[in-house]
Structure formats: C-alpha cells, structure tokens
Amino acid sequence: MQKDIENKLLKKENQKLEKEIKNLKKEKLKDRAKIEFLEKRMPSCMNLSKEQMKIQTSKKAWKNDAYNIIFYDNSVELNLKDKCKALFVNYSNYAKWKIKYHDILSRGKTTKLKRKYNKRAIELINKFTKLNGASGARNVSSWITDNHAVNISYKIVNELRNNKLVKLPKIKRVAKKYTSQRGNVVPDLIKKDFKSQYNFHKIGLDGSYLDLIINGKKTKILGEFAYNWYNRDMIAYNFDFSENSQVVSKTIMDIINVVSNYKVDYSIIQMDRDTANTSNIVKNIIECYPNFVLSMS
C-alpha cells in the first residue's frame, strides 16, 4: 500500500515537471520568435545597448512605427499581445491607437506623427526674416540665442523652413565661374630635402585652419604661414576665412620684402599644389622677381 502511494506521488511529481518543461520550451520558442520578429521588423535597433534601447522605445516615433508594423503584419507565429511585447509597446495602448486611427487604417494607409513646434520659435524666426531677409539656418539660430536668449537648433529652423511654417527664404547662391589653372603647377625642387645652404635659401609656405573663440563664438579662420628652414623662424603670415590667391600672394609679397633686406641671390618658396597656389596672380608675382623660384610638392 505504501509503495503504491509513493508511486502515485512520484507520477504526480513527474507530470508536474513535464508540464513545467513543456511550458519552459514554449516560453523559449516564444522568446526566440519575439527576437526574430523584432530583428526582421526593426533591424536598426539590434546593435543598440540596453540603455539606448530604453531611450529609443520610449519615443513617440518608435511607438507609432511599431503600431503600424503590428497592424499590417500577417505572420501567425505570435499573437497580437506577443507582437506588442516583441516591439516594446503596450497592448492596450495599441488597441486605443487602432480605434483612434480607424479611418486612416481602413484605407490601407499608415499613421504619421505631426510634430508640434514651439510658437515662440516661429515668431522669432519670422522676426529675423523681417529684419535681415534671407539667411542660413545657423545664422538664424545664433541671432535668436544672442538677442533673445532662446536656444533654437539650426535643425529646427531648417525643419520649419522646409515645412513652410516660417517665412525664411534661402540664400540664392551663384556659382562662381572657374577656370582651370593647373598649368601653373611647377616641379618639386626640394623633394623633402629641407637642409638650407644659407639664410633664406629654402622657405616653406603653408595654410592651416585655426579654431578660435571670438566674442564667445567658435570661428574657423585660415592662417597662411611662411617659415625659413635655415633657422626655423617664421618670417611672414596672413589670415583670411579661406585659402585663396589673395592671401597667398600677400604672404609671398611679405616674404619678398623680408628677404630683399638681405643679400640673397636665390630663394626657393616651397608650397603644395592647391588652386590658390597655382593661380595666375601668384604666377605673375613670381615672374617679376627672378631671384625667387616656386617649388610645389
């Protein structure tokens, strides 16, 4: 009798364990199906960390996209509730969304979020247009911050302009006529041999962009620098907002003025083959001073 009772108890335990194992297998299969569902429908999120995923799934745009995907998905591996769990959205909120946008969905269309913009931002951008006319988005953003202490991203300015919610015309850019001047390229006389036989024998000329903070604003300017390889001294420099033939020719003239104070028969000015350096202006200056020769690497 006692053995029979023990056997019955063991059978019950085995049955419980078998049910638990079946349930675990079902859960694992369901979890795998959820991952596959997410991977196929939202592949861009698979490389995100847990923290990034939390931020992404909390956004309205994510939820709207997820609702549309679930509504138009015909796969049968998962039920609606599991599809909602797979895409990290609430089932009851999905049901409310479906009722709210019934007319749009019945026509086979997807729902799109209408972005709400700050009315103050629209007012300030229109105010800028009245005072200054056409301008770039970054200039508008800086003007609003400086004059009204309101931070409006240049991206928002562009969005408002593209959606025609503000009166901000774009700047009409006229393409400059360009004439190829690559024929003014000269051979490399130095060939990485920077040892000078005498003072001002070899002079390097190069342009570098510098990041400066002027009146609290980050500004990028071009510095054209000339240095004497004989004693490693800087002998001339000029600044502009970009590397152009004017700043290059001005620096070359400064080099000529400095070197002319010394008895030097022959000087090589080494530079790269940029458009500014190969311009006709630079070529014409050098032709006027036979004791100066250009070299380009």
pLDDT, residue 167, reads 87
**CA 107, CA 174: separation in Å to the nearest integer?**
46
pLDDT, residue 175, reads 60
pLDDT, residue 279, reads 83
Enumerate residue ranges in the chain where pLDDT < 50: 179
Tally of CB atoms within 10 A around 15: 10
**CA 164, CA 162: separation in Å to the nearest integer?**
5
Q: Sign (positive/negative) of CA torsion 224, 232, 211, 147? A: negative
Give the model confidence (pLDDT) of 23-79 as tens digits: 665 666 566 766 776 777 777 777 778 888 888 888 888 888 889 888 888 887 788
pLDDT, residue 282, reads 85
Cα dihedral: 166, 167, 171, 172 (round 10): 120
Domain 182-296: homologous superfamily in CATH? Ribonuclease H-like superfamily/Ribonuclease H (3.30.420.10)
Global pTM value: 0.41
Tokens of 28: 């694992």
**CA 281, CA 286: separation in Å to the nearest integer?**
9
pLDDT, residue 194, reads 81
Task: Look at residue 106 and give its three-state secondary structure.
Answer: helix
